[in-house]
Chains A and B, each alone.
Chain A
Amino acid sequence: MRFLREAQRFLFFSALAYVLLKGLFVSGCATDYVQQVIIYSFIVILVSLGLNVIYGYTGQFSLGHAAFYGIGAYASAYFTSALGVTGPFLFLPALLVGGLSAALIGCLIGAPILRLRDDFLAIATLGFGILVRVVLDNSDRLSERLGGARGFLGIPQITNLEWGLIALVFVVLVTRNLIFSRYGLFWQCIKGDELASAACGINTARMKLMAFMYGCFLAGIGGALYAHLYPFLHPSNFDFLKSIDFLIIVIVGGMGSITGTIWAGIIWVAFIEGLRVVLPSQVLELRWVLIPVLLIILMMWKPTGLMAERESKLLGLDKP
C-alpha cells in the first residue's frame, strides 16, 4: 500500500499516458509502425535506466550494455519458443528468464572485471560485448533454434502497449526506491569517491557488483520485451553501436537522473525513428554525423548531461 501511495503521482501520469496512447492505438491514428516505435521507446528507456544505475549512479563505465540486452532477448525468446508460448500466459516468467539470465551472466563477468578502473573497464566491457556477438553469431552450433548468424525466427509477438508500459512503470518505481534506499546511497558514494567509500566501511566490490547486476537485469528484461515485439532477432541488433545508443541516452539525459533518462529515451527514439518518416533516405545518413557532433559538444559544455542528479517534481520522482 505504501508503495502505491508514494508512487501515486507517477502512477497517475502513467495512467494518463496509457489512456492517451490506447486511444491513439485504438482509433487507428497510429499505424502499426508507429505503435511499435512507441513500445520500442519504452524498452529503450528501460534498458537505459539499467545503464544509468551502472554508470550514472555507481560510476562504472560500461560499453557493453547491449550484450546483456541481447542475452536477455535470446534467453527469453528461447524460453517462449521452446515451450511454445504464444499468448500472454507465461510471458511474465519469460521476462524473468531474460532478466535473470542477463543478471547471472552480469554477475559472472562483473565479479572479476569490476575491479578495473574506468577506461580499462570500458575496454573490458567492450570486449565482452564483442564476445557475446561472436557467441550469438555461432549460436546455431548450440541449438538449431537460435539460428546463429541467420537470425532467430518465429518468436511469438506478445509484447504490446500494456506489457511495455507496466514493465516500464514498475521498473522506474523500483529503481527510484532503490536509489533512495541505503544501497542507492552506497552506489552514489562509490561514484563520488571509491576509496573514501571503502574507508567508510562500504563493501565497494559487493555494491558495485550489485549495481551492475541490477543494471544487467533491467537490460535483460528490456531484451525480453524487445524479442517479443518483433518476430525476428539478429545478433547485429546487439552490437557495439547499440551499446553506444544506450550510453548516449544516459549521458544526454543526465548521469544519475531517472527523469533525464525517460526524456532522453523518448527524444532519442523520436529522433532516430521519427526522422525516418520525415526525411528522405539520402539525408538520413546525416543523423549519425550529427549525433557524435552533438555528443562532443555536450561533453565540452555539460559533461554530466542535461538533467544530472535532478529529478522531476511533477512526476513525483524526486523523493521515495
Chain B
Amino acid sequence: MELLSYILEQAINGLQIGAVYALIALGYTMVYGVLRLINFAHGDIFMFGSFTAYFLISKWHLPIYLVFPITVFATALLGYAVEKIAYKPLRSAPRISLLITAVGVSLFLEYFLSLKGLFGPDYIAFPRPFDVRVFDLKLFSVTNIQLIIFSVTAVSLLLLYLLVYKTRQGRAMRAVSHDPEVAALMGINIDGIISFTFIVGTGLAGIGGILYAFAYPQINVFMGIMPGIKSFIAAVLGGIGLIHGAVVGGIIIGVLEVFVSAFLSSTFRDGVIFIVLLLVLLLRPNGLFGRRIEKL
C-alpha cells in the first residue's frame, strides 16, 4: 500500500515535469515541421520566459493573470526576432548551416544574458506568487502547483488544438509542414507561416518557463539547456512534426525521468533519457506515432 502510494506520488511528479516538457516539445516539433530545423535556441527562449516571469513578479509585483500574457508576448517576440535575424537569411542554405546557426544563437543568448547587469550568471531564487498547499487525497497528495501546471497546460493544449485544426492559419501551418513547395504554389505565404509558427512555439515555451519556475524555483541562464534537449528527445520519441506526439513524448520522458530518480539514482537520470533517445532513433526513427518513412 505504501509502495503504491509512493508510485502514484512519483507518477504525479512525473506528470508535472512531463507537462512542462510537452509544452517545450511542441515548439520544437512545430518548428521542425515547417522549417526542418532543430531550433537549439528553443531551450534558451524557455529560460527567457522564466526570467521574464521572475522580473514581472519580483520587481513589478504584477498579479499572476498578467504575468502569463506578458511573458508569452515577450518570449514570442524573442522567438520572432531570432527567426527574422538569424534563420531567415539562411532559408536556402544547407540544413547543417542552419543547425550550426541555431547552436550559435543558443550560445549567444546564454552568454549574452549571463553578463552582469542583464540576468547574471548566478542562480536566483524565484518567488512564487502564492503559498504552496498540499491536498491530501487518500492514496496520494497533490500540491496546488501541480494543479496549476496541469490546468494551464491543458488550456494551452486546447487552444493550440483549436488554432491548428480549426483556423485558416492552422490549416496553412499543416500544409507547409506537409509540403512547403506545394503549399507555396497554393498561395500560402511560407515566410509568414514560419514566423507565425515560431511565435506560437516560443509562446508555449514561455508558458513552460513560468510553470517550470513554479515547480523548481531556482532559475539560471543555463537552466534551459537540459530541459530543452530532453524536450527535443520527447518530440523525437512521439514522432517529430506531430503535435500529439510531442505531448505524449513529453509526458513519457517526464514520468520516466522521475521514476529513474526515485527508484535508481538521480545521477543516472540524464543517462537513461539518452539511452531512450538512441533506442528510439535506431528502432523507430519516426517515433511512436510517426507514419511517414523518410528515406536516407
Residues of A participating in the B interface, judged by any CB pair closer than 8 Å: 61, 63, 112-113, 115-120, 122-124, 126-128, 130-131, 133-135, 137-138, 194-195, 240, 244, 247, 251, 282, 285-286, 288-289, 291-293, 295-296, 299-300, 303
Give the CA-CA distance A293 to B85 in the complex, in Å: 12
Query: How many residues on B have C-beta within 8 angstroms of the other chain's C-beta atoms?
Result: 45
Q: List 17 A-B contacts (CB under 8 A).
A: A116-B285, A118-B96, A119-B36, A119-B96, A120-B236, A120-B281, A128-B274, A130-B270, A130-B271, A131-B274, A131-B278, A240-B225, A285-B111, A292-B103, A292-B106, A295-B101, A296-B108
Which residues of chain A come closer than 8 Å to B97, judged between CB atoms?
299, 303
Q: Is B90 an interface residue (CB 8 A)?
A: yes
The residue of chain A having its C-beta at the shortest distance from the C-beta of B275 within the complex is: A131
Q: A112-B282, A118-B96, A120-B285 are in contact. Are A131 and B111 (CB under 8 A)?
A: no
Q: Is B115 an interface residue (CB 8 A)?
A: yes
Q: A247-B100, A288-B111, A292-B111 are in contact. Are A134 and B268 (CB under 8 A)?
A: yes
Which residues of chain B come closer than 8 Å to A137, judged between CB atoms?
267
Give the CA-CA distance A128 to B271 in the complex, in Å: 9
Decide if A296 touches B267 in the complex (CB within 8 Å).
no
Give the CA-CA distance A63 to B225 in the complex, in Å: 14
Q: Please report which residues of chain B, range 20-48, place their CB below 8 angstroms from some CB of chain A when the two chains form the complex.
A: 36-38
Q: Of B89, B271, B275, which is within 8 A of A300 by CB?
A: B89
Decide if A300 touches B281 in the complex (CB within 8 Å).
no
Task: List 3 tightest A-B contacts by C-beta distance, closest first.
Answer: A292-B108, A134-B271, A288-B111
The residue of chain B having its C-beta at the shortest distance from the C-beta of A301 within the complex is: B89
Q: Is B86 an interface residue (CB 8 A)?
A: yes
Is the contact region of chain B dominated by helix, strand, or loop, or is it mixed? helix
Q: Please report which residues of chain B, range 70-91, place their CB below 8 angstroms from some CB of chain A when the two chains form the complex.
A: 86, 89-90
The residue of chain A having its C-beta at the shortest distance from the C-beta of B294 within the complex is: A117
Which residues of chain B come closer than 8 Å to A117, judged between CB atoms?
294, 296
Q: Please report which residues of chain B, range 255-277, place their CB below 8 angstroms from some CB of chain A when the two chains form the complex.
A: 267-268, 270-271, 274-275, 277
Give the CA-CA distance A134 to B275 in the complex, in Å: 11
Give the CA-CA distance A137 to B89 in the complex, in Å: 40
Which residues of chain A come closer than 8 Å to B121, judged between CB atoms?
285
Residues of B participating in the A interface, judged by any CB pair closer than 8 Å: 36-38, 86, 89-90, 93-101, 103-108, 111-112, 114-116, 121, 225, 229, 232-233, 236, 267-268, 270-271, 274-275, 277-278, 281-282, 285, 294, 296
Q: Of A113, A127, A289, A291, which is within 8 A of B115 by CB?
A: A289
Give the CA-CA distance A194 to B295 in the complex, in Å: 12
Which residues of chain B come closer than 8 Å to A126, judged between CB atoms?
229
Q: Of B101, B108, B229, which is within 8 A of A299 by CB?
A: B101
Give the CA-CA distance A291 to B99 in the complex, in Å: 16
Shortest beta-carbon distance, A226 to chain B, in Å? 23
Which residues of chain A come closer than 8 Å to B103, judged between CB atoms?
63, 244, 247, 292, 295
Known interface pairs A130-B229, A291-B107; 9 further A-B residue pairs with C-beta atoms within 8 A, sorted by A's residue number? A61-B99, A119-B96, A122-B38, A123-B38, A123-B232, A123-B277, A123-B281, A288-B107, A296-B104
Shortest beta-carbon distance, A132 to chain B, in Å? 9
Q: Which of A122, A247, A299 has the most CB of B within 10 A?
A: A299
Q: Of B38, B86, B271, B294, which is within 8 A of A131 by CB?
A: B271
Give the CA-CA distance A122 to B104 in the complex, in Å: 15
Shortest beta-carbon distance, A193 to chain B, in Å? 11
Decide if B101 touches A296 in the complex (CB within 8 Å).
yes
Shortest beta-carbon distance, A258 to chain B, in Å? 20
